[in-house]
Homo-oligomer: A and B are copies of this chain.
Amino acid sequence: MIEDKSLLPIFALQIQLLMKAEILCIGDELLIGQVINTNATEIAKQLEEIGIEVRRIVSAGDRKEIIQAELANALAEVDVVIITGGLGPTHDDVTKIAVAEFFGRGLAWDEEAFQNCKRIFERRGVRMPESNRTQGEVIEGCIVVQNSQGTAPGMILKDFDGYEGRIVILMPGVPYEMDAMMKKSIVPFLAPLSDTFVKHSVIMTAGIGESHLAELIGNEQEFLTPNSTLAYLPHTMGVRLRITTRGTSQQSVIEENERIVKTIASRVPKFIFAQDDVLLEEVVGKMLLERNMILATAESCTGGQIANRITNISGSSAYFSQSYVVYNNEAKIRTLGVKSETLEAFGAVSEEVALEMLEGCLNESGADIAVATTGIAGPTGGTETKPVGMVCIAAGTSEKFGRIRRTKTFIFSQDRLRNKELFTQAALNSVRIVLMELD
């Protein structure tokens, strides 16, 4: 492995401030794609929050030699190695013995860990299998971390011979056991050792792509300092901007982070729907609630997905009454009173039809605000003038709220499921824009 400090002079200042960690996840199930590695993400998030920098995450197989090689690799680079998985009582759980051998240590008996294991079986009313006796064995000289959720104890190995200044932590791989142990014991152990304060802020945008956003925000060197970074994180729902500031003084870190957030926000005000890690349906829900308005939707190409996302939010019945999913022309005519002449003259995918769907939806439901979608999700059904990925959206309000009418046509990608997601996001954003007009 390459020693990083010599290779990364630019980052040297920043790196010297930080404790560095590696996360090593043991388990063949990770390597055959059977299990998504949520443990690594959870651990990384918690380390990040206490100012410990994760340099690398490795998933490796349940074999002693592999674990030992990865551990050697990690200890050459970082201060803290966190290992999860392979602490169970079965023959393929070899992490404990692999790490003990690596440090030339034996196993010691920990009565409390054994009693904890016994108690768990007693509580379940199940006889403890003999193999579980090994759960009382820990690595000689470790700090034992009791497992409140399961049978395998965690272990902290600190300043072992030849590895002074290094910490190796073993945790079980079962996500809820690991998670409880991390929060209850490992974070409180590590936090005082870190001398870095980290502040993350998030700005959520919608209705603009990554590169256009970057153009509007402009040269980041103008407002970023060496302690701060700006990341563009695009996903189906829009682009998330993450501003991270690190330092040793909490106050100056917070001040600097806020200054950067304000600068960015001032450059792209109309694309920001939240300065927080929230979903657009939550933002729209809150706006409806504040204005005491009821939403209904009329959906063709989104097929109920707008309603589904809105009702994913607990409490949505306070501001959402209903959706008319009108997938074929007959349903549009029958249920929402769309005129067959309009369908013939402009086609089902047109702003004219979207407007009539909106009209029908507001009339039938008695809602205060509504949005209607009609489009071509694909992969078939596209034409020269109306390609796959095209959606017409109409959003508007009832008489009581000023009878606003807004329509817009978008063209998105080739993929059916992704189109439905993008159509839905655009429709929710249209509702947000109309709600802002009301203010």
Q: Which chain A residues have a beta carbon within 8 Å of chain B's beta carbons? A: 1-2, 4, 7-8, 11, 28-38, 40-48, 53-61, 63, 65-66, 68-70, 73, 88-90, 92, 120, 123-126, 129, 131-132, 148-149, 174, 176, 180, 200, 209-212, 214-215, 229, 231-236, 242, 244, 297, 299, 302-308, 310-312, 314-317, 320-328, 330-331, 334-335, 364-366, 377-380, 387, 389, 410-418, 420
Contact = CB atoms under 8 A, between A and B. Distances in A.
B331 A327 contact: no
- Integer count of this chain's copies in the complex: 2
A377 B311 CA distance: 10
A274 to B, nearest CB: 16
The residue in A88, A307, A315 that gathers the most chain B C-beta atoms within 10 A of its C-beta is: A307
Contact of A48 (B32, B42, B126, B377): B32
A40 B66 contact: no
A322 B311 contact: no
A155 B313 CA distance: 41
A31 B54 contact: yes
A41 B45 contact: no
Contacts of A418: 149, 176
A316 to B, nearest CB: 7
A347 to B, nearest CB: 14
B4 A65 contact: yes
Contact of A65 (B8, B58, B125): B8
The residue in A41, A236, A242, A415 that gathers the most chain B C-beta atoms within 10 A of its C-beta is: A41
Q: Is the interface of A mostly helix, strand, loop or mixed?
A: mixed
A413 B180 CA distance: 13
26 contacts: A4-B66, A8-B63, A30-B40, A31-B44, A31-B48, A31-B53, A32-B44, A37-B57, A90-B214, A120-B413, A123-B387, A129-B214, A149-B413, A174-B234, A299-B304, A304-B304, A308-B420, A314-B378, A316-B327, A317-B327, A320-B327, A321-B328, A322-B328, A323-B325, A323-B327, A324-B324
Nearest to A125: B411
Contacts of A321: 327-328, 330-331
Nearest to A389: B123
A236 B179 CA distance: 14
The residue in A7, A45, A244, A325 that gathers the most chain B C-beta atoms within 10 A of its C-beta is: A325
